[in-house]
Amino acid sequence: MANPLLLPLLNWARGLRYPTLFKLTAVAFAISILWPFDPIPFIDEIVLGLGTLLLANWKSRKAPPEPPIEGDAARRS
């Protein structure tokens, strides 16, 4: 179950595209690692949530389909 304090932040982050979401996750991770104390409450949970969203948005790009060779029969569905 999501933490009610973090839910608005993660709902906002869900709408971000890959490069922006990656940068936000990297900054939050760096803050979490570099400072031994928690400068932002729940920073570890924020990093885990953003990492989950980042992996969910990470898609492999498929190669575009090749054009049919002239003379080949096209299959119709």
6-28 per-position pLDDT tens digit: 788 778 888 777 788 888 888 88
Instruction: Output the pTM of the full model.
Output: 0.59
The two structure tokens encoding residue 35: 């400072």
- Between 73 and 52, the higher pLDDT residue: 52
**Cα–Cα distance list, 26 to 4, 74, 75, 76 (Å):** 23, 47, 47, 47
CA dihedral sign of residues 30, 35, 37, 39: negative
Q: For residues 70 and 42, what is the distance between their CA atoms, to the nearest angstrom? A: 60
What pLDDT is recorded for position 18?
78
Q: Taking residues 19-42, what's their average pLDDT? A: 82
Listed by start position, the domains of the chain span 7-57
What pLDDT is recorded for position 6?
73
Confidence of residue 61 (pLDDT cuts 50, 70, 90): low
